[in-house]
């Protein structure tokens, strides 16, 4: 069971990486970009709607909001953009390259 959770976590990380690549693509519509930026920012932000220290509810918001936000952003963007972004994210994950050091610096600064 623990291996399944680790696999799902890796998938979520890849999806978030793909989303961050997709919102930078000029073919992505404005609404899809806004949703994607919000989802990625929420995922990497240390601030949650419900703090994680609250048992069960603290993680429940992440388990509901992130998949919903990803699904909404994907639905709003062109299929070709999403397919290319997922392929790039998978390749980056396999090669072990960090996605964006500037984004990491911003999150750490916050």
Q: Are 81 and 28 in contact (CB under 8 A)?
A: yes
Q: pLDDT tens-digit profile of 57-101?
A: 777 777 788 889 999 999 999 999 999 999 998 888 766 555 556
- Dihedrals φ, ψ of 23, to 5°? -70, -15
Over residues 23-48, the pLDDT tens digits come to 999 999 999 999 999 998 888 877 77
At a CB cut-off of 8 Å and minimum separation 6, what does 28 contact?
22, 36, 77, 78, 81
Domain extents in the chain: 2-109
pTM to 2 decimal places: 0.75
Of 25, 107, 17, the residue nearest 70 (C-alpha): 17
């Amino acid at each position: 069971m623990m291996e399944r959770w680790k696999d799902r976590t890796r998938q979520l990380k890849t999806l978030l990486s793909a989303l961050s690549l997709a919102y930078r693509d000029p073919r992505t519509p404005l609404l899809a970009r806004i949703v994607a930026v919000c989802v990625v920012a929420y995922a990497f932000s240390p601030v949650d709607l419900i703090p994680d220290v609250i048992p069960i509810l603290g993680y429940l918001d992440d388990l509901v909001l992130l998949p919903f936000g990803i699904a909404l952003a994907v639905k709003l963007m062109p299929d070709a953009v999403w397919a290319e972004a997922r392929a790039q994210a998978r390749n980056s994950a396999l090669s072990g390259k960090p996605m964006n050091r500037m984004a990491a610096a911003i999150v750490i600064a916050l």
